[in-house]
Amino acid sequence: MDFSSDTSAPAHPKVLEALARANAGNAPSYGADPETAALEARLKTLFETEALSVWPVASGTAANALALACFCPPTSAVLCHREAHIERDERGAPEFFTGGGKLRLLDGPDGRIPAETLAAELAGMDPSFVHETPPALLSLTNLTECGTVYSASEISALSRLAHASGLSVHLDGARFGNALARLGASPAELSWKAGVDVLSFGLTKTGAIGCELIILFGEATARFAELQARAKRAGHMPAKLRYLSAQANALLEGGLWLELAGHANAQATRLAAGLAGLPGAQLRHPVEGNEVFVTLPDSMARTLSDAGAKFYPWPEGGYRFVCSWATPDAAVEQFLSIVYPASR
Amino acid sequence: MDFSSDTSAPAHPKVLEALARANAGNAPSYGADPETAALEARLKTLFETEALSVWPVASGTAANALALACFCPPTSAVLCHREAHIERDERGAPEFFTGGGKLRLLDGPDGRIPAETLAAELAGMDPSFVHETPPALLSLTNLTECGTVYSASEISALSRLAHASGLSVHLDGARFGNALARLGASPAELSWKAGVDVLSFGLTKTGAIGCELIILFGEATARFAELQARAKRAGHMPAKLRYLSAQANALLEGGLWLELAGHANAQATRLAAGLAGLPGAQLRHPVEGNEVFVTLPDSMARTLSDAGAKFYPWPEGGYRFVCSWATPDAAVEQFLSIVYPASR
Amino acid sequence: MDFSSDTSAPAHPKVLEALARANAGNAPSYGADPETAALEARLKTLFETEALSVWPVASGTAANALALACFCPPTSAVLCHREAHIERDERGAPEFFTGGGKLRLLDGPDGRIPAETLAAELAGMDPSFVHETPPALLSLTNLTECGTVYSASEISALSRLAHASGLSVHLDGARFGNALARLGASPAELSWKAGVDVLSFGLTKTGAIGCELIILFGEATARFAELQARAKRAGHMPAKLRYLSAQANALLEGGLWLELAGHANAQATRLAAGLAGLPGAQLRHPVEGNEVFVTLPDSMARTLSDAGAKFYPWPEGGYRFVCSWATPDAAVEQFLSIVYPASR
Amino acid sequence: MDFSSDTSAPAHPKVLEALARANAGNAPSYGADPETAALEARLKTLFETEALSVWPVASGTAANALALACFCPPTSAVLCHREAHIERDERGAPEFFTGGGKLRLLDGPDGRIPAETLAAELAGMDPSFVHETPPALLSLTNLTECGTVYSASEISALSRLAHASGLSVHLDGARFGNALARLGASPAELSWKAGVDVLSFGLTKTGAIGCELIILFGEATARFAELQARAKRAGHMPAKLRYLSAQANALLEGGLWLELAGHANAQATRLAAGLAGLPGAQLRHPVEGNEVFVTLPDSMARTLSDAGAKFYPWPEGGYRFVCSWATPDAAVEQFLSIVYPASR
């Protein structure tokens, strides 16, 4: 009954098999290997575009911070939601990688930035006012940090506003698969077709050991050499890059990643349905992916914890429960049997 | 016949086996897992000290830059050899991670800094002269970038000088195993007993997928919280850290790493012996590890290359040949048979 | 009728005279001159303590950013008010000088941080949670950015909270004289006696050409060498430092600075009294210094502007009017005669 | 007999007069004042071009570091002479302002970089090699740090090489006036006509209180907004900028600056002529400006020092004597009378 995080799950067996395959013999270092070439080709097909460059890294913080740094000069700012992972959980990585850029925080219910909020913020900006730090970039997260999704049209609307003001658009897709599985949209529809210039495409939470893809789209591919240089000097150009690419290849093969993300979503939906019916419990956000944020009676939280369920209290209040590709039916059933002991 | 680099070799099979073992079930994220705990315990035994903290990262550049940043404030400098990897091959990572610290370069034959050179540099420093950047740290590399070793007593002598001037001592041990295998010294003798405060203990070139250990010794362990914070904000705190620790555990188990390093050294020695006898060839540095730097007649370089041998011309002149744990006898023999066709 | 800013005023004639006096003959560079020595001695008397170090700089942004950087490591954060100058008007200087530290914003009416707000923020912090950026420093502004004052006891209460959580305390005193003139407190009471570790003591708005003093108090004086090093590498160690120190000496001599600040306050009070009685006008904050923030009927703003009055609309709404040491009675009278044409 | 530095001299009286004139009444802040507008117009005439932007700062370190930061991304390097002020005397300011860029050092006699040395360095670069930091900028100093001059044709030759490799060209003109006075060249000939993209035009050593002009030429003027933003966040946008511009206007008016630089040069020439004839003395570099670097018998150095002459031993050996606009004939005569007591 481990609902603490999708990062406490192991890697999917196919990822391990892929590593073993990639381990056959010597290969060029630093990304000049066949696995990485295959990954790029595979992504072009998956995202339905030739205008795409990719650099794999081993952590989501690295993916986000490198992506932001390629678009936000040190004299500029990134617009993001107050709850954004880049603001709350990356120990200042965006400020470090951008050389002292700022994050400017926007509010909005359920982790989403409303278009009117963005519009108002952009309208209030005066890039000619040298004392203030103007935004260069909009960063969205999908799944949001509240476990909700942005639809393709919502992202498009925000991107249009951003682009009209000269901002680029970054998407933190640490749980991109969960969003896609929920919406049934295509990867292209939820990224470049919706105006995303650079995507942090997370696979770690989906089932990798540690693999996040920084993907540049369209004109942003012109920044690939800069991205590589920044990755190198940040220690994110491991010599044997093939083992990162192999993880991604394994998960993307045959749509495994979407299947795994769908499973995680389904388990969270079951969990949420159970919790929602509990007297005194209240879902804090719609459950649209693999995360459940819920206010619980203290006694219930204690009972669950005592029974061995793992989960975290959340800074904004209530508790968070996360399901992963590896969450078995049995864990959900055991959990629900504790919540509803009468049903035993 | 791939002598291009020890990073083009695959990982040792035992590393892959260890990953598979570590993949059994859920585990806490960010280093709170059993593999990482086991690694710390193992290192305390290996280095014969309880005063040790460890943080694993996936690249040597990350290990070096994070280590340096914990000891070199942005207003200070690192002393290192002109050929040091941190100066030549890390795209400014030390400057980035220290927040703009400087590298001050020292000369010395065969990649080693002579004690008298260091002494002269330290004597010329005036920390009260605010315009100049004073050194806070001495960084040595063992194996050096010229493939030679520092003995324990040479490192001790340099450390004593550094400490006497208030500097800390960093050792870039990207090929630490090769140095140890050559010298027959113990890990403790070549690190903290010789005055090293922080070690980049490389295992990638020894046979890992990508695993380097930042090890703090003695009083330097007080900087562990800072090291973790810096690792986090640099994207070097991957959620599933257990897979990094597992690699190290696999290689350290039963001294496998030293066995592999010894094999690489032995193959390089054979290569060097063959090349040294060749008319017109000249070893540029003593071969004391797994690297051979040699001046070759152009025709011979072409012949080797045409026959399928992989190796690089070197910026300082001549060519570099590197052997790894995976260099088979057959490759060395084939190589030598090209060098000495009469012996066929 | 220039109420645009206290920075559009010229320097007080005594400042110019002091420059001329300081210009007699050669003097050592970089702060080893008699003017700077005299300044330090003078400040020790003024602040009633020997435990004080001073470094003069030419801009408030430099003073603040250097002060913050000596106390906030790149992995940490500064707590400040959402309206703080360091957040709103310094183009990311704190982030730049700290090497990527963060600002964490607190709310509170009239530009002041309530003690309970600070207490709650500090209670919610978990420095052991490596993903979040913990605060190292509290930065207050007095006069606040809303033209209000903190009393000595209010600052003491905030400082006690900060110190109890291991934070240092910075005071942005760009209008320190205005606060003192208002409260009748002594410089010591409003700084180190109230727990301030480092003060940006502004004199530019008071009547200098450009002179702000970074003052370290008590144990913080141990950071003076670091402050100098940071000043040097930021270009804030001009060779002929004596001309900065001379400005401060001229203004501090005989309490001139407090007299000038008092004049500015008095003019603002008159302006505010006049505006407050105007139908449709509303003071947005209590007027406790030399700044008036007021909501005005659009027609009145136009009338004033057409008549030649200079002032700015303010991002938070309404308009700002600022008086300075050089605001003549005639300007205030002319202004009021426009506001109340019937009284002509 | 103060030959310690041209920065220990006072400001020229005309500079003080200009400050007093600039002090008449209110003026817009942050560079929107008439003095700054007049300065820009004056410089366009002086440099014979409309394609010029200027930002005044109060220190040479600020001028250099801001100039470099506009042209050198954090992933790149600046090529400069091993003795360059930016390397030796700015406490890492270039690394700080560029966000961790590197300085790559070139050798050459008398502080000058030979064209063949630059050509060889550029030829050895491989911008596609991601591990190495490629240069983005060439920084020259004129007068050099050895007190010698580059001719316009020497600068042109170096600039052509730099531009051909895609590098921009910065000129550190802390003693630009001394170089011009020596060569009789025009400001344009020694700057943009010789390929200089950005100039640190120093006036502090020439006779200002503290005033250095960052001047962008030609296409580089497109970076003016970035320069201003960087100046702001570095604390180098003082509110009352008019007093910086006024200093420059005073010195440029009627060619005063060149007259003053010529005086300093002449005094140094007299000093050098005297010293050169002294048994046991040897000029270390040709004396082509206002600085004399000379090896002296210890006894003579002591005698001079005992007699009250101020000068510094130099890190590279020997002693440095500097003359300024304010060095009187009497000081030179007194000095020479000590050197040649027989002639008394």
Chain C 63-82, CB below 8 Å of chain B: which residues? Answer: 73-75
D touches which chains (3+ CB pairs under 8 A)? A, B, C
The span from the CA of B339 to the CA of B317, in Å, is 20
Same-domain status, D244 and D322: no
Residues of A in contact with D237 (CB under 8 A): 130
Strands, sheet with C168-173, edge to edge from the N-terminal-most edge strand: C52-57, C212-217, C198-202, C168-173, C135-141, C77-81, C102-106
ipTM of this complex: 0.97
C touches which chains (3+ CB pairs under 8 A)? A, B, D
**Is position C5 within any domain?**
no
User: What is the predicted pLDDT for the residue at B342?
Assistant: 62
The average pLDDT across A19-25 equals 96
**CATH number of the domain that residue B221 is part of:** 3.40.640.10
Task: Give the closest-approach CA distance of C64 to chain A in angstroms.
Answer: 14
Looking at the complex, does the CB of residue C235 fall below 8 Å from at least one CB of chain B?
no
Looking at the complex, does the CB of residue A93 fall below 8 Å from at least one CB of chain B?
yes
Looking at the complex, does the CB of residue D308 fall below 8 Å from at least one CB of chain C?
no
Looking at the complex, does the CB of residue A99 fall below 8 Å from at least one CB of chain C?
yes
Backbone angles phi, psi at A291, to 5 degrees: -125, 140
Looking at the complex, does the CB of residue A96 fall below 8 Å from at least one CB of chain C?
yes
Cα-atom radius of gyration of chain A, to the nearest Å?
Answer: 20
Q: Which residue of D61, D68, D91 is the best one to mutate when testing the B interface, meaning the one whose CB has the most B CBs within 10 A?
A: D91
Residues of D in contact with B98 (CB under 8 A): 100
**Is position D8 within any domain?**
no
Q: Of the candidates C206, C224, C255, which is a domain's last residue?
A: C255
Tell me which residue in C99, C131, C228 faces B99 most closely, judged by beta carbons.
Answer: C99
Same-domain status, C74 and C193: yes
User: What is the predicted pLDDT for the residue at A184?
Assistant: 97
More confident residue, C51 or D279: C51
**Is beta strand A135-141 parallel, antiparallel or unpaired with respect to A77-81?**
parallel
Residues of B in contact with C233 (CB under 8 A): 74-75, 100
Strands, sheet with B77-81, edge to edge from the N-terminal-most edge strand: B52-57, B212-217, B198-202, B168-173, B135-141, B77-81, B102-106
Backbone angles phi, psi at A219, to 5 degrees: -65, -25
The average pLDDT across A22-46 equals 97
Residues of A in contact with B309 (CB under 8 A): none
Same-domain status, B111 and B235: yes
**CATH number of the domain that residue C281 is part of:** 3.90.1150.10
Q: What is the pLDDT along chain D (344 residues), one digit of tens a residue?
A: 899 999 999 999 999 999 999 999 999 999 999 999 999 999 999 999 999 999 999 999 999 999 999 999 999 999 999 999 999 999 999 999 999 999 999 999 999 999 999 999 999 998 889 999 999 999 999 999 999 999 999 999 999 999 999 999 999 999 999 999 999 999 999 999 999 999 999 999 999 999 999 999 999 999 999 999 999 999 999 999 999 999 999 999 999 999 999 999 999 999 999 998 899 999 999 999 999 999 999 999 999 999 999 999 998 899 999 999 999 999 999 999 998 886 44
Tell me which residue in D92, D98, D131 faces B91 most closely, judged by beta carbons.
Answer: D131
H or E element: which one contains D181? Answer: helix D176-183
H or E element: which one contains A202? Answer: strand A198-202
Q: Which residue of A5, A7, A103 is the best one to mutate when testing the B interface, meaning the one whose CB has the most B CBs within 10 A?
A: A7
Same-domain status, A187 and A59: yes
Q: Which residue of A has its CA nearest to B234?
A: A93
Residue C94 has pLDDT above 60, yes or no: yes
Domain total of chain D? 2
Residue B338, both tokens: 């090209």
Give pLDDT tens digits for B260-315: 999 999 999 999 999 988 999 999 999 999 999 999 999 999 999 999 999 999 98
Task: Give the closest-approach CA distance of D201 to chain C in angstroms.
Answer: 15
Per the CB < 8 A criterion, the answer to whether D113 and D81 are in contact is yes
The average pLDDT across C174-202 equals 98
Looking at the complex, does the CB of residue A88 fall below 8 Å from at least one CB of chain C?
yes
Q: Which residue of B78, B128, B133 is the best one to mutate when testing the D interface, meaning the one whose CB has the most D CBs within 10 A?
A: B133
Residue C344 has pLDDT above 50, yes or no: no
The average pLDDT across B89-96 equals 98
The average pLDDT across A139-152 equals 98
**Is position C111 within any domain?**
yes
Same-domain status, C249 and C260: no
**Is position C2 within any domain?**
no
The average pLDDT across B324-335 equals 97
Residue C29 has pLDDT above 60, yes or no: yes
Contact D233 A75 (CB under 8 A): yes
Per the CB < 8 A criterion, the answer to whether B215 and B54 are in contact is yes
Contact C75 B233 (CB under 8 A): yes
Give pLDDT tens digits for C280-327: 999 999 999 999 999 999 999 999 999 999 999 998 899 999 999 999
User: What is the predicted pLDDT for the residue at A127?
Assistant: 84
**Average model confidence (pLDDT) for chain B?**
96
Give pLDDT tens digits for A316-333: 899 999 999 999 999 999
Same-domain status, D66 and D22: yes
For residue A274, how many other CB atoms are within 10 A of its CB?
20
Task: Give the closest-approach CA distance of A131 to chain D in angstroms.
Answer: 7
User: Which of A258, A267, A256 lies closest to A328, judged by CA?
Assistant: A267
Looking at the complex, does the CB of residue D23 fall below 8 Å from at least one CB of chain C?
yes
User: What is the predicted pLDDT for the residue at A130?
Assistant: 95
**Is position C7 within any domain?**
no
**Is position B4 within any domain?**
no
User: What is the predicted pLDDT for the residue at A316?
Assistant: 86
Task: Give the closest-approach CA distance of B28 to chain A in angstroms.
Answer: 5
C-alpha distance from residue D169 to each of C331, D96, D98, D151, D201 (Å): 50, 19, 16, 15, 14
The span from the CA of B168 to the CA of B70, in Å, is 10
User: What is the predicted pLDDT for the residue at C128?
Assistant: 87
Same-domain status, A103 and A177: yes
The pTM of this model reads: 0.97
**Is position C295 within any domain?**
yes
Q: Which residue of B has its CA nearest to D97?
A: B100
User: Which of B335, B326, B327 lies closest to B296, judged by CA?
Assistant: B335
Q: Which residue of B has its CA nearest to D89?
A: B131
Strands, sheet with A52-57, edge to edge from the N-terminal-most edge strand: A52-57, A212-217, A198-202, A168-173, A135-141, A77-81, A102-106
How many interchain CB pairs under 8 A, B with D? 56
**Which amino acid would we find at residue D19?**
L
Same-domain status, B216 and B262: no
Looking at the complex, does the CB of residue C166 fall below 8 Å from at least one CB of chain B?
no
Contact D130 A30 (CB under 8 A): yes
Q: Which residues contact D336 (CB under 8 A, 6 or more apart)?
A: D270, D271, D274, D343
The span from the CA of B118 to the CA of C69, in Å, is 31
Give pLDDT tens digits for B171-212: 999 999 999 999 999 999 999 999 999 999 999 999 999 999
Same-domain status, A193 and A207: yes
**Is position C3 within any domain?**
no
Same-domain status, B220 and B249: yes
Task: Give the closest-approach CA distance of B311 to chain D in angstroms.
Answer: 16
Residue C31 has pLDDT above 70, yes or no: yes
User: What is the predicted pLDDT for the residue at A344?
Assistant: 44
User: What is the predicted pLDDT for the residue at D127?
Assistant: 84
Confidence label for B344 from pLDDT (cuts 50, 70 and 90): very low
Task: Give the closest-approach CA distance of C241 to chain D in angstroms.
Answer: 9
Q: Of the candidates D224, D255, D286, which is a domain's last residue?
A: D255
Looking at the complex, does the CB of residue C99 fall below 8 Å from at least one CB of chain B?
yes
Range of the domain at B300: 256-343
Same-domain status, A227 and A163: yes
Same-domain status, B241 and B127: yes
Give pLDDT tens digits for A56-108: 999 999 999 999 999 999 999 999 999 999 999 999 999 999 999 999 999 99
Q: Of the candidates C255, C281, C305, which is a domain's last residue?
A: C255
CA C257 to mean position of chain CA atoms:
13
Q: Which residue of A has its CA nearest to B208?
A: A240
Chain B 106-145, CB below 8 Å of chain D: which residues? Answer: 124, 130-133
Looking at the complex, does the CB of residue A228 fall below 8 Å from at least one CB of chain B?
no
Q: Which residue of C has its CA nearest to B134?
A: C229
Give pLDDT tens digits for C254-279: 999 999 999 999 999 999 999 988 99
Residues of C in contact with B229 (CB under 8 A): 75, 130
B touches which chains (3+ CB pairs under 8 A)? A, C, D
Contact C57 D235 (CB under 8 A): yes
Contact D229 A100 (CB under 8 A): no
For chain B, the first-to-last Cα distance in angstroms comes to: 17
Residue B343 has pLDDT above 80, yes or no: no
